[in-house]
A = this chain, B = another copy of it.
Amino acid sequence: MAKISFNPRTTAYPMPVVLVGATVDGKPNYMAVAWFSKVNSNPPMMMISLGKKQYTSQGIKENRSFSINLPGKNLITETDYCGIVSGRDEDKARLFETFYGEPGNAPMIQGCPINYDLKLAETIELPGTHLFIGEIIGAYVDEDKRRGHIPDLPQAEPFMLVESPPSTYHQLGPQTADAFKVGKKLKQ
């Protein structure tokens, strides 16, 4: 198939969406974030990339704490709102019930089935963003969205941002294969 160049600023992979929590100006604030990833296994670390002027960035720098909350599809409207509106202008935390792992840490959202509590480990400055790398110090799952002590991710009903204009949210689809298994047949 012939290849066509496209604008390299277009993000062409499905981006799971989370709500990042932080205490800003003494109050809980939540922001929708699609640029994040696990980055280290031991200790477990995740990174988020936020615009330098984001209200949340200010709170993370002040308190060296943030949370990553995975919303289910029942929170798509609230999540989208948290990506459109700044905490400088509106109180976004009013939409959620907030809880804390330890006092002084970042606020987390009770209504999100999966929550990570993180301590800031490193901040990398890029041209337009701050890359915040945090160590996970707590992980929580709703009692009814797990198998044993492991989160049952499909039950949490996460959703993905697809940025081919117009941008849309997509559900997680059906299982297609077993990971770390199906490829064994190609071993030489």
Contacts and interface: CB of A to CB of B under 8 A. Distances in A.
A170 to B, nearest CB: 5
A60 interface: no
Give the number of times this chain occurs in the complex, counting copies: 2
A3 B142 contact: yes
Interface residues on A, range: 35 or more
A159 B183 CA distance: 15
A143 B38 CA distance: 32
A53 interface: no
A21 interface: no
Contacts of A12: 70, 114, 116, 139, 141, 151, 153, 156
Contacts of A141: 3-4, 6, 12
Nearest to A46: B11
Interface string A21-61: 00000000000001111111111110101000000000000
Interface of A: 1-16, 18, 34-45, 47, 49, 70, 73, 76-85, 90, 95, 99, 110, 113-116, 122, 124, 126-129, 131, 133, 136-144, 146-147, 149-154, 156, 158-188
Given A4-B142, A38-B49, 7 more contacts: A77-B182, A81-B186, A90-B188, A150-B164, A162-B179, A166-B178, A168-B175
